Amino acid sequence: MSGSHATDDTLLPTEFCETLARHPALTRLVLTGFMGCGKTTLGRKLAERLNFNFVDLDALIEKNQKKRITDIFASEGEAAFRQYERNELHNVLKWEHYVIATGGGALVCQENLNHALDNSVVVYIQMDTHDLLERILFSPKERPLMDVPNPQQVIETMFVARSPFYEQAQVHVNTLGLKPSLATEEVLKSLHNYVTRFLPNLPY
Ligand code: S3P
């Protein structure tokens, strides 16, 4: 093995994923975390490994509103976007065998967060502000909240304000320095630990 590329050796066995996917606590999985932490990429990979479907909440909003997120922010404002986000979140939290990637602000509202915690396993994809900044600066125009003159300061302030919400997730995974393929395996391991530790009476 070289670097942090996943190889057949580092991939968890298929049976491990199949057993995990059958666990009754895993009807659906919600990924949360700051903008730029890689929820969409990881979500797609996790769905593949678990043989679940995948949905990205922002993409669903764009499809149903027939507008880009940036246009919704520009023409209708953030409050309208948050209302669409809330509605779509409640909608997808009824779908079975789904990995759901949410926007960084979707669970920064106790009502939305509680609803997700009650109806899914919520996974916090952790990353520090330094790495987040690097990733966000790559495409700031796609993120209306980051299209500002002082993104570093905004990220740091938002990080402090949002962390108490993210930290309520049932599963925390630090993916710092990991390529998406390896980060996916880390999430799978953490999920396994969570379901076996907290639901030990089930035959898994
Ligand atoms: C937002 C994050 C974005 C998107 C919108 C608002 C936020 O999604 O939902 O721009 O408030 O953190 P990503 O986390 O996928 O960038």
Over residues 64-95, the pLDDT tens digits come to: 999 999 999 999 999 999 999 999 999 999 99
| Residue 25 CB partners (closer than 8 Å, separation 6+) | 121, 195, 198, 199, 202
Average pLDDT over residues 36-58: 97
Asked if 3 and 174 count as a contact pair (C-beta separation under 8 A), the reply is no
User: pLDDT at position 204, please?
Assistant: 47
Say how many Å lie between the CA of residue 17 and the centre of ligand 1.
29
Atom of ligand 1 nearest to the CA of 101: 15
145-190 pLDDT, tens digit each:
988 888 889 999 999 999 999 999 999 999 988 999 999 999 999 9
Residue for token pair 């507008």: 67
**Residue 69 Cβ contacting ligand 1 at under 6 Å:** yes
Residues of the chain by 3-state class (helix, strand, coil), percent to 5? 55, 10, 30
Asked if 123 and 191 count as a contact pair (C-beta separation under 8 A), the reply is yes
Average pLDDT over residues 40-66: 97
Average pLDDT over residues 136-147: 82
pLDDT at 104 over 50: yes
Q: How confident is the model at residue 1 (pLDDT cuts 50, 70, 90)?
A: very low
Q: Whose CA is nearest to atom 15 of ligand 1?
A: 103
pTM comes to 0.92
**Residue 140 Cβ contacting ligand 1 at under 6 Å:** no
